[in-house]
Structure 1
């Protein structure tokens, strides 16, 4: 009821204000809670990626940053007095859009990126590991302030084959965009049969939705995933086809551009995050064949001192060996990666790989590396699998699992005439490889067995050679698993390293003997091994000896450099 001045009573105004304040507070609280749930689920996804060693293959940083910024904005609003402006900003939150994108991701397989900015004029800014850029010579629309054209893809899934764009645009927004083009709902003689303004060739005059669809399709046409062009999907949960002919005409323009449309929210069940992550990023090991083809790089890693012992940096190590020591100190290759990858599978290698591996071990391998090689390759055919594992345990600082199916069997690269089944494209690629790589990767390709390797160069060359072809069937691609890190033998010295290294101080010499397995070998040969200090050496003695050895090495190195400098100056 109004007062004498025609205004509502003060208590009613206060009540309305309190009600509005309460509604805004409830809305903000709900939005903040939902944003936190998004971040929690995204972190669960990241933890899953980390567990399967796939974190670097999926791009989520920008999406996570967007959610974090939205949450910070909402929490800032919550700390302020509730006003009409506050309510408007809260209702305009970007969170529903982010939730829709995340819901799509949870229902998708093999997610590659979320909210990925795709530059399609420059191969140097190509999408990701799975994407191959091609130059179609198509003129791209340039962006203001940017040298290269680009589009944002909300979700890239199926290893890059599906590009999804989400838009929460409404039919009213589309009608407003049409009105800006001069369209009048009353109709005019200049309108086309579909009720829209006449089609103009300049794509810059398209309404935003159509323009975005065209740009997405143009970008997708510039990329190939396993020789296939990505499919572009446009998700419009707030639009229904068949309600307005003007809106339908706009949707038809989007379809003509090449997108696949999904309109209306529908009732689609979104799986729980615990189940979704296994589909969003499957463990690559689950797709391994029952028999694994092991290449020379992995054979060496399986016997290397770096993999089985706690190796300290030596003065003669070159940088790659020093880096392997650092990596192994942070994460042990065998228990964390290779043992799970090889578990309960029959292991084979080609004759060429086995021969090359033995040559390397024979030349620079330590006694313990040679002993592990003999065990792993089953030199004593009388030994059972369990006995081989027990023997290997004597030479390793880490538990050797019974799931490691020793020994590794040697096969012919044309076992069971498998090479006859190779596709001509595969034969051509293998022909350009070295003989050992051709035998290893050719056998794995022909037999259908997963090849396990750390040879990044060959794997990338195979992928690049295949991507240059057109419309290859998925069955033509080989099954490859690239181990993210390699291990060399510890005896691989730096070029030019001095071989006449001075005798190590006694504590270090005894430690080196233990590490290289000399005690075990001597005992097996029937010789008594006497350790004058069976309980080891005091820590300070070992550290002092290490420092003395390092100083001696540096002095010898400096003398050598000085001598070389003098000789060089005399020769001039």
Structure 2
């Protein structure tokens, strides 16, 4: 065997210890972050890579969500774009300065000193950490950089949103809102040395715990104290403690699906059990009911080929909370059979009601069934109350087209389709739709008698006392739908946002300090679909 082949199959010790020519070229191409040119190149590369990932995620949102703008990602993207522009300008200035220095025969040491500090002051490491932590530890993303308020005019049921003339000083900026709004994440890239310096500057010091037997010897358990706290002046607080206080205040003024958001602090540059002072400060933050995570590396930026698959977990995750059986409101039963939801050939027309034309336009951009209804209901049993089913049939019989009437019969499994198995029902439904109906869609929708179940639940006190206040504001059909879901513990799916908000507000207004009080669990589909047969002058 020729020597060159044997060497290729059995590398020598020299080959193993020294980099190949390709590896040497790669090492030479990598920017040196210790120089202004190298650091600028590194920051530019990171900016562009993160922006590419964010664009990939935005495309994913557009594909999967009817309204991708509900996920607030623009603020993070804008911040990174701003950093990119700043670094680009600095890079241009650095090159111009080095060129001028070379003409003068100068080594350019002054250029390094002038620009290296400016580059190291970039906010990009923080934005990189926020994006990486979101990718690595969050799901059900709701947005970045969202502001929440507390104080007068903000309270339970208002989601901490700003009201007119609201005091911005009584607010906090949450870096990552995840778990479909139920988790708030605050990221701080402060270093240990900087934190210790700030703690000393703000007057924090360690003392032995009062009453300790070893107080004189300094051997007792120590507590961290801020002597300015009695003045109730937040400006005298260490920054992380003030953030914890503000996050807690805002969370206490906010409810998401009847619950307070969970708060998490992530401190990637801090390690526990290295400084007792910092450990005590972290314990203080945890005393506000906040989870604190220290150290660790956040997820590195991804290459474009793997980004989309690796970012899918950030999509809203409402369905993971769904019960195996779903209680379907009349509004969505109608959406499931409407011609608007099934025929791509339907176009706006002066003959249609204004609301119909608006729904046609929305349907073109984000088809309701493939994007929302089927992902929510596939492989789950669907139920509806007898009142909801009856009302749906009344509407279809009055104004529905022939195809809408036929879909209704298939959906509800009534004559002449009452003897067909679920697979055959799906096949029949497919014949009346331009979209591919999921084979796992469990037809028919089963009708249940709601009143006896609700009455029994009220007699047995299976509802909280607030049920009387909620019941007063509901029509007969909404009473049957929402109270049935409430007493059975089933998730109700509906497009009746107005009624859902009224229920939530009623629960919050009559909570009376009961932190565990919850109302019915409802998933709201934001855009309904009317029957195409609705006459033009019919009122919405």
| Alignment TM-score, normalising by the size of structure 1 | 0.68
Matched, 1:303 2:334: no
Note the C-alpha offset of 1:32: 1.9
Note the C-alpha offset of 1:323: 0.9
- Confirm or deny: 8 A CA contact 1:196 1:249 kept in the other structure: no
In 1, Cα distance between equivalents of 2:252 and 2:158:
15
- Confirm or deny: 8 A CA contact 2:339 2:531 kept in the other structure: yes
Matched, 1:345 2:384: no
SS state at 1:118 partner: strand
Note the C-alpha offset of 1:419: 5.1
Matched, 1:33 2:45: yes
Note the C-alpha offset of 1:198: 6.1
Note the C-alpha offset of 1:22: 7.9
SS state at 2:185 partner: strand
Q: Which ranges in structure 1 are unaligned for 5 or more consecutive residues?
A: 1-18, 136-141, 186-191, 498-572
Q: Deviations over 1:305-360 (max 9, x none)?
A: 32233334343433212212222333433344333433333332221112111211
1:206 is matched with which residue?
237
| CA pair 261-424 structure 1, distance change in 2 beyond 3 A | closer
User: Bigger CA drift: 290-299 or 265-274?
Assistant: 265-274
- Aligned match for 2:171, one of 147, 150, 171: 150
2:322 is matched with which residue?
288
**When the two structures are aligned, how many residues end up with a matched partner?**
461
Note the C-alpha offset of 1:436: 0.7
Structure 1 segment 263-282 matched on structure 2, within 5 A? 264-266=294-296, 277-282=311-316
Matched, 1:215 2:246: yes
Note the C-alpha offset of 1:66: 0.9
Note the C-alpha offset of 1:435: 1.0
2:537 is matched with which residue?
495
Q: Deviations over 1:454-473 (max 9, x none)?
A: 11112222333334424454
Note the C-alpha offset of 1:289: 2.9
Matched, 1:104 2:109: no
In 1, Cα distance between equivalents of 2:170 and 2:402:
59
2:24 is matched with which residue?
none
1:427 is matched with which residue?
467
SS state at 1:80 partner: helix
In 2, Cα distance between equivalents of 1:148 and 1:384:
61
In 1, Cα distance between equivalents of 2:134 and 2:54:
11
Q: Deviations over 1:370-389 (max 9, x none)?
A: 33323333222234445444
Structure 1 segment 547-562 matched on structure 2, within 5 A? none
Matched, 1:164 2:198: no
| CA pair 417-254 structure 1, distance change in 2 beyond 3 A | closer
- Confirm or deny: 8 A CA contact 1:28 1:90 kept in the other structure: yes
In 1, Cα distance between equivalents of 2:490 and 2:74:
35
- Confirm or deny: 8 A CA contact 1:225 1:467 kept in the other structure: no
| CA pair 390-169 structure 1, distance change in 2 beyond 3 A | closer
Structure 1 segment 371-520 matched on structure 2, within 5 A? 371-377=406-412, 378-380=414-416, 381-414=418-451, 420=457, 422-425=462-465, 427-428=467-468, 429-430=470-471, 432-468=473-509, 469=511, 470-473=513-516, 476-495=518-537
In 1, Cα distance between equivalents of 2:252 and 2:428:
56
Q: Which ranges in structure 2 are unaligned for 5 or more consecutive residues?
A: 1-30, 96-110, 207-221
Larger relative CO (CA 8 A, sep 6+): 1 or 2?
2
In 2, Cα distance between equivalents of 1:402 and 1:42:
33
Note the C-alpha offset of 1:368: 3.1
SS state at 1:451 partner: strand
In 2, Cα distance between equivalents of 1:105 and 1:213:
19
SS state at 1:491 partner: coil
- Confirm or deny: 8 A CA contact 2:150 2:160 kept in the other structure: no
SS state at 1:452 partner: strand
The structure having more radius of gyration, on CA atoms, is 1
- Confirm or deny: 8 A CA contact 2:142 2:316 kept in the other structure: no
Matched, 1:116 2:164: no
| CA pair 336-176 structure 1, distance change in 2 beyond 3 A | closer
Structure 1 segment 353-368 matched on structure 2, within 5 A? 353-368=388-403
Structure 1 segment 522-541 matched on structure 2, within 5 A? none
| CA pair 60-123 structure 1, distance change in 2 beyond 3 A | farther
SS state at 1:323 partner: helix
